[in-house]
Amino acid sequence: MRAFKTALLLTSLTLLLVLGGDALAGSQGMTFGLILAIGMNGFAYFFSDKIALASSGAKPVTREEAPRLYAVMERLAAKGNLPMPKLYIIPQAAPNAFATGRNPKHASVAATEGLMELMNDDELEGVIAHELSHVRNYDILTTSIAATLAGAITWIASIARWGMIFGGFGGNSREDRRGGGLAAIVMMIVAPIAAAMIQLGISRQREYAADAAGARLVGQPYGLISALEKLGAYNQRIPMTNVSPTTSSLYIVMPWSGGQVLAGMFSTHPPLSDRIAALRQMTITR
């Protein structure tokens, strides 16, 4: 059911992009929107992990440099019958982590220095199990594609503003000169909001699923519960730098960058209190 909902949401994002092109330039714009959607999907499939890692400042680490991280990852990957991901450390004091990559064979997991310092073994295990669950469920690909499409829709909406100024885009027919009309106005206002809400729906439902799957992988939810409590407390006090809106949805908790407005309403993550409550209600049979 979750896979169906996610496919429906991604289809909705693609349709928004196509309809945006139609609103700006008629049938030619619709074709351009479809080509752009396909191109963005392909780009996100092959390169989103590299962009996420580079933008976060993550550095690859060896077993000798991060023996504790390697030990936890190897144990849980073997337990979950998953390939060993590439491991990275992010030079940030705020505790956080994310997974990225197009599939389990091409996955990477990055943890901040703050996470490694502040988490005990059970809490670190809970966080890593959560990230491995994202890898297993291909969430890392889905959220990357959603973020890329949402960014493209926002870009189309900005083009619509120029359409309003210059009275539309090419074409001689009435159908092909709607860029400065009502359709462009609607696209300029509604499309970015709709894209953001669709992206939020994808990210939020997958955080709940990764929490539950991670707890089942470990065999109990208490380490992850304690980790989420710590993550919430420390991320309200320690801001993270070099975190773009596109990659923030990948982290286990929403990174705080300071000066955030309406963070709860437009957060790509469910409230931590709700996630913790859901974990407390879990029953795991061994």
- Please identify every residue annotated as catalytic: 131
40-109-224-80 Cα dihedral, nearest 10 degrees? 100
52-58-59-60 Cα dihedral, nearest 10 degrees? -60
Kindly state the DSSP code that residue 93 receives in the 8-state scheme.
S
The rounded Cα 39 to chain-centroid distance in angstroms is 19
Residue 11 tokens read as 């289809």
82 CB contacts (<8 Å, ≥6 apart)?
A: 104, 132, 135, 136
Contact 194, 9 (CB under 8 A): no
Pairwise CA distance, residues 149 & 37, whole Å: 7
Going by C-alpha positions, the residue among 40, 9, 270 that lies closest to residue 154 is 40
> Position 70: which residue type?
Y
> Position 20: which residue type?
G
237 CB contacts (<8 Å, ≥6 apart)?
A: none
Pairwise CA distance, residues 183 & 262, whole Å: 28
Tell me the torsion sign for CA atoms 246, 251, 253, 257. Answer: negative
Pairwise CA distance, residues 25 & 16, whole Å: 14
